[in-house]
Amino acid sequence: MGIADLIKKLGEKNKERKEKIRLLDEEIRLRKLVEDRMKSANERELERFIEEERQDNIKKALDRMRKKRINDINFKHNPLDIPNITNKISWEVLKEKNLFKKQKNIFVGQPNVLKGNPNLFKNKRLFRI
């Protein structure tokens, strides 16, 4: 038995399966058609309204479940399973004292590009926004 035979058998099984599904589907449709013809017009209309109401209830319940699931995913699930960095941190960076608090500003008294530059306003135009 070669690979070609194996592939051929798989294809035949798939075709047989599709044909069985098609026949069962057609049989179900015919049964439903016969049952509907046996009912009165009022009964068919009532069943249609009941089915529409049932579908609306299903849709509302599905919307609620989707919103609940999205809410659970967004707010109740921590995929990395790590603590929140603002309130459960093991390294106390925010509680250490400030190292730069008593240091003087290193830029005070330093030459500035804008200060005392004679070429800055040479064309005598003001910068406007």
Q: What is the mean pLDDT of residues 24-30?
A: 97
**Does residue 60 surpass a pLDDT of 90?**
yes
Predicted confidence (pLDDT) per residue in 94-116, tens digit: 677 777 787 777 777 777 766 66
Strand locations in the chain (E):
none
Residue 36 CB contacts under 8 Å (≥ 6 apart), including other chains: 44
Distance CA 82, CA 89 (A): 10
**pTM score:** 0.46
Q: Which amino acid does the sequence have at 51?
A: E
Distance CA 52, CA 58 (A): 10
Mean pLDDT comparison of 27-41, 88-102, 112-126, highest-scoring range:
27-41
The token pair that represents 40 in the structure block? 């009165």
Distance CA 80, CA 58 (A): 34
Q: What is the mean pLDDT of residues 22-47?
A: 95
